Structure 1
Amino acid sequence: MNPTAPAEAPAAPGRTRTPDSAHHHRSRTTWDEAHATARTCAPAPLPAVAHTLADALGCALARPLAALTDLPSFDTSAMDGWAVAGPGPWRLHGAGVLAGAHPAPLEPRTAVPIATGAPVPAGATAVLRREHGLADAGTLHLTAPRPLAPRGDIRPRGQECAAGEALLPAGTPVTPAVLGLAAAAGYDRLPVHRRPTVDVLLLGDELLHSGLPRAGRVRDALGPMLPPWLERTGARVRGVQPIPDELDALQRALAATDADVVVTTGSTAAGPVDFLHTALARAGARLLVDSVAVRPGHPMLLAHLPPAPDGRARRLVGLPGNPLAAVAGVATLAAPLLTRLAGHREAPLRTTPAAVALPGHPHDTRLLPVHLTPEGATPAAFDGPAMLRGLTLADALAVVPPGGAAQEARVRLLGVPR
């Protein structure tokens, strides 16, 4: 597989397969190849849209954010006190300048009360802080031991930025702070990448969606966990649908969704009711990744689905059914794909030393829940493929190479959403 090839490029012979052939003749992809393929199978992020500030939260900027005005757009007072003109003492003049006012110019050796954030009158040479002055019989006196600094406690126009100045690069996530900066810079709407839509299909007759596990059936852990995790990557999850272990039901569900990305759980292996490969073959899907050399979660897959009726490209990420294995699938395939589609900038994985030797698999990469200490990464307990207890206490997933990581060796880290 060539993970850097665009999605439409023909695959090397024998590497990109139809689901039918893959079902019986899988050659597992390395973790790094699979992770890169998920990122690069989308040639570009989704198109830009103009959202109101409130609706842009969580999206990624589609263009650099440039200031529409100087910030501040006029000289403002940094303190409550008096705007003064020239050396003191000063004759007090006027009732005071409040935020939002349009003050008259100051004559030399006069002063006017002023509030923090109010526009500084023309002719003012400084702002005298309230605690450093004394007003007596219409005259203002300086009480501080040092003279006023020229332009002291005045925030000059353009101190933060000038009109046209680039504030943030494209790909920046729109956080609450970004919304505040954009509003201050004059924006009512932001150009952001459309968030990819996701439909989650939960496959399996054994899943219960309420109450205690019973009669050989287990509670569905992925239905509550996956949507917020996928939303953290920039996606918009439209719904979670349980699907019974029936080929026809799975085929109908795949035919009914027009989501940018379909995420399935379970049915990725070759068990008696694992129908995902067959359903994908009948739908005309094209596999990009089918089984990854990673533990837990090696029977995961990534496929191109036939285009939506409006021509949009669509993809499917098949996650294993075991909870921690599904988490590995999200980190390996779903997260890099969705962040790319959402337009978020790709950041290199941070690294840390192994505080102790980290156990690995003899041949596969291992995604290991770890605690981060001042000395580095240490394994978290309860790390079996069906367990989530260790993940809830972990600070990250360590990407442990085949054979394990020796103490003090540096390992890459994948974030765990909080």
Structure 2
Amino acid sequence: MPWEQAYNTARDTPKPLPPEQTPVEAAAGLSLAAPILARTPAPAFDAAAMDGFAVAGPGPWTITGRILAGQPVACSALPAGTGVEIGTGAPAPVGADAVLPYENCHRAGSTVTGTIGTRTHIRRTGDDVRPGDVIVPAGRTVTATVAAAAVQAGVDDVFTHRPPTVTLFVTGDEVIACGTPGPGQVRDSFSGLVAAVTSRAGGILRACSYLRDDKALLQAALDDTDTDVIVVSGSSSAGAADHLHTVLNEQHATWHVNGVACRPGHPQALAALADGRWVISLPGNPYAGLTAALTLLEPLLRTLAGQPAGKLPTCLVTGTAKLTSGAVRIVPVRFTGAAAQILPGTGSAGLRAAAAADALAVLPIGWTNGAPAAILAVP
């Protein structure tokens, strides 16, 4: 499958997970399934925007009291020709026409003189938000600022999409989780990448397990996993130790992507089990697995998490790359002004170039030096 088609398939095939009601203070990082509508006005009352004197009618004004933030205000209206000393944020008394800042007036005993300017320095009820106003639309991610605006507008709960849950199986007799590798062994350098991509896409990595190259173990692992997405690293090709395709075919899985025309990362796949769980197959070589995770896993999770689909950014790319007929080449790049420069070292296994890169560039078929390419953010 062409790379762009594979990316779009992973992005467009799933549906967002169902919405659920979430306390606003616990919604940070989640995607809104419905707009946040204000329940109360903001400000909730007429409030002083400056320290000074709240006055009514023309001056001079006789000062009759003081109101500070957090104090109740008298129910009776402020008579014309009178005023009260007031602090910023305090409720303005009924009938107040303006707040005279200290620096714009003069007080002699209980009398204040000054001129009301073009600004009244009173924030009127609902100046910022009125009940029913949209604070943010559906599809937005709840940030700390979004949550604060919702609280200010009297919102306690919001509707968010449930974050997709992910299980990672790292397969291979040669893979060890920690320690010094023995002859023929390698350290797992990939689970952290999957965790980072999952988190960035709005998902939750629930578990990471290591499996030997055994068909029965892989079958049992898939059967016992109840997360929304199962990621299998390794076991993605057609070798004697690669069992995933056989297992999925025996389970009558639906293949949406089965091999992608890209280098590296060709043997990647996306399938759906009969019960709705998604399975993503990633190559075991770390750099190839990274490119595949950005091609299939990230767009799938973003959609499940309810994040709106968007086009990938593009950039002019300069340098040289080993191109393959009929396939895109995914290379690490570093931004240099308005362009991105290809970094050397683009094999399927090594991560050194990717670690030094600002992003990965997907060089289209027929790419030439200085032509544009889609950009993938490295985790």
TM range (shorter): over 0.9
Equivalent residue letter for 1:383: T
Offset, 1:103: 4.3
2:139 to 145, 149, 171: 171
CA separation of 1:131/1:221 partners in 2, compared to 1, >3 Å: closer, same or farther?
A: farther
Offset of residue 334 of structure 1: 0.9
Q: Choose the corresponding residue for 1:72, options 43, 52, 62.
A: 43
State the match for 1:133 in structure 2: 105
Match of 1:55 in 2: 26
**CA 360–137 in structure 1, closer or farther in 2 if over 3 Å, else same:** farther
Structure 1 residues 328, 79: closer, same or farther in 2, change over 3 A?
A: same
Relative to 1, partners in 2 of residues 1:411 and 1:130: Cα closer, same or farther, differing over 3 Å? farther
User: Which of 396-405 and 101-110 deviates more?
Assistant: 101-110
Determine the C-alpha separation between the residues in 2 that align with 1:358 and 1:384: 11
Aligned-partner Cα distance in 2 for 1:396–1:258: 33
Give TM-score, length-normalised by structure 2.
0.93
- Show the counterpart of 2:10: 38
Counterpart Cα distance in 2 of 1:89 and 1:381: 78
For the residues of structure 1 that align with 2:232 and 2:248, how far apart are their CA atoms? Answer: 12
Where 1:354 maps in the other structure, the secondary structure is strand
Structure 2 counterpart of 1:343, from 306, 317, 324: 306
Shift of 1:89: 3.2
Q: CA deviation at 1:132?
A: 2.9
Task: From the superposition, tell whether residues 181 and 357 of structure 1 become closer, same or farther in structure 2 (CA, over 3 Å).
Answer: farther
What is the aligned partner in structure 1 of residue 58 from structure 2? 87
Match of 2:177 in 1: 209
Cα distance change on mapping 1:340 and 1:355 into 2, 3 Å:
same
Q: Distance in 1 between matches of 2:103 and 2:346?
A: 60
The answer as to whether partners of 2:197 and 2:294 remain within 8 angstroms in 1 is no
Q: Is the 8 A contact 1:127 1:152 kept in 2?
A: yes
Query: 1-side partners of 2:235 and 2:350: how far apart?
Result: 19
Match for residue 255 of structure 2? 287
- CA change 1:381–1:127 in 2 (3 A) is farther
- Give 1:152's aligned residue: 120
- Contact 2:236 2:282 (C-alpha < 8 Å) held by counterparts: yes
| SS of match in other structure, 1:86 | coil
Q: 1:411 aligns with which of 352, 357, 373?
A: 373
Match of 2:236 among 244, 268, 274: 268
2:83 alignment counterpart: 111
The amino acid of 2:353's aligned partner reads G
Q: Among residues 282, 288, 293, which one is paired with 1:325 in the alignment?
A: 288
What is the Cα deviation at residue 150 of structure 1?
Answer: 4.5
User: Quick one: which of 167, 179, 182 aligns to 1:199?
Assistant: 167
The structure 2 residue matched to 1:235, chosen from 189, 203, 212, is: 203
Superposed displacement of residue 359, structure 1: 5.7
Residue pair 1:75, 1:157 contacting (<8 A) in 2 also: yes
Paired-residue identity, %: 39
Structure 2: 5+ residue stretches without partners = none
The offset of 1:397, in angstroms, is 2.0
- Judge which range, 161-170 or 98-107, deviates more: 98-107
How far off its partner does 1:214 sit? 3.7
- Whole-Å Cα distance in 2 between the matches of residues 178 and 416 of structure 1? 26
| Separation of aligned partners in 1, 2:80 and 2:61 | 9
Once the two structures are overlaid, the 10-residue window that deviates more, 203-212 or 261-270, is 203-212
Contact 1:126 1:150 (C-alpha < 8 Å) held by counterparts: no
Distance in structure 2 (CA, Å) of the matches to 1:348 and 1:332:
13
Q: Gaps spanning 5+ residues in structure 1: where? A: 1-28, 308-312
How many matched pairs? 378
1:100 positional shift: 5.6
Deviation sequence 1:343-395 (CA, Å, 0-9, x none):
11112222222355666433311222222232211123443322223323322
Partner AA of 2:94 in structure 1: A
Q: Of the candidates 402, 405, 412, which is equivalent to residue 365 of structure 2?
A: 402
Change (3 A) 1:98 1:282: same
* 1:331, distance to aligned residue in structure 2 (A): 1.3
Instruction: Give the counterpart letter for 1:416 in structure 2.
Output: V
Query: Residues 380 and 281 of structure 1: is their aligned pair in 2 closer, same or farther, counting only changes over 3 Å?
Result: same
Give the aligned residue type for 2:226: D
Say if 1:361 and 1:141 are closer, same or farther in 2 by CA, change over 3 A. Answer: farther
Q: Structure 1 stretch 198-207 or stretch 131-140: which is displaced more?
A: 131-140
